[in-house]
Structures are given as C-alpha cells and as structure tokens.
A and B are shown apart, each in its own frame.
Chain A
C-alpha cells in the first residue's frame, strides 16, 4: 500500500500535467527504511518523448548521491503515460530496478481526470497496491 500526502500527490499530478504530452518522471525520497515519502524531486526526462522516459544520467547520479548523504532512499519512482492507461508497460517492467520502491503511474490521457495508481514491481512481476492520500 502507498500512503502519500495530498501535497506530494498533487505535486506529481501537476508535474505530469505540465509536461504533457511528454512523459514526466521523478522521485519521492524518504528516510531510509521507513517507507514514507517526504521529498518531491521532479527529474528531467532526458528522452523528452511522449512515449518514453529516462532519467538524465548525471542528474540521476547527483540525486542518488544526495539521498545517500541525507540517509534517504527512493520511496516512490513516478512517471506518466500521456495516451495510455496508468499501468506499467513492458518497458516499465524491464527497467524497474529499485526493488524497494513504489512505482507510481499517472495517466494524463484524459484532460478532465488524472489517473494515479501505484505498483510494486519485483522480478518482472507487477502487483497493484491501494493508494491512500492523506490530507
């Protein structure tokens, strides 16, 4: 289950809407071992594409190093789909390499409604989990 504050939820949605029709991506960092997202980090989509995303490798390194210095880990890795549903694709699954993270998918395919769903992806297997938004 993913428990996330209204503020962080809305920051992810706003980022996805702002970058539409390109896929948006980023991380929510939180204190190591606590499974508690606290810090919103929008990442650049180096692919700048409506159908693919990739963290810029230099920014990825900087952010991961910063999390380590702060004793944090990536609790949520999020990205958006801009014309398809908020469900992990085959490539999403292939490149899900943080076994401890919640993978949040947002879909901006519908202007009036943003889909926001969360998954665990372990050894190629996707399990959807409920999302609780805490006001």
Chain B
C-alpha cells in the first residue's frame, strides 16, 4: 500500500498521461521528492524556494495542506493527496 497522488490534467505531461500515481514518504515534502524520482520536473511545478507554490493547491484527503503543516504535513500509506492548480485571475 502506498500513497495515492491525483494529478491534474496540466501536470499529466510528467506522468505519461496518468491521472493517478503512487509514492511513499512520511511527509508531503518526502512524497514529492519520491515522485520526482519517477516523474522528473514535477517537483518544480509544486514547490519553489518559499515552499508550496502559491497558486497550486494540494490536499491531504479532503483538507488543503495549507491548513495543516504545508510541506511538513505527515502522510501515510492509504492517504490520498490531490493536486489542483488554483483557478484565479484578475484584471491585469
């Protein structure tokens, strides 16, 4: 059993089109590092020098990890992590 990671359409170029991949780790940060081994370039779409990218939403099961511990959020086998790019914009 691993951690299921649901990938949004625009990031499926990193997963050969897969909408779901698996990974391991005890924190979100470790999980992302693990995914990067098999899906190179994915980490950079999720994380920048400040932590999780501002306009990328990551959820552990049903909760936005920003309300948990961000990249340090503990994860475990059987969890589902979902990535959704933010829907946003403005007049400029």
Contact = CB atoms under 8 A, between A and B. Distances in A.
A135 B17 CA distance: 38
A120 to B, nearest CB: 14
B66 interface: yes
B62 interface: yes
A98 B9 CA distance: 7
Contacts of A61: 57, 59, 62, 64, 82, 84
Nearest to B62: A61
Contact of B88 (A53, A83, A88): A53
* Interface residue range, chain A: 20 to 34
B90 interface: yes
Contacts, number: 81
B87 interface: yes
Interface in A23-59: 23, 25, 43, 47, 49-55, 57-58
Contact of B89 (A52, A64, A82, A100): A52
A105 B92 CA distance: 13
Interface in B74-92: 82, 84-92
B30 to A, nearest CB: 22
A9 to B, nearest CB: 20
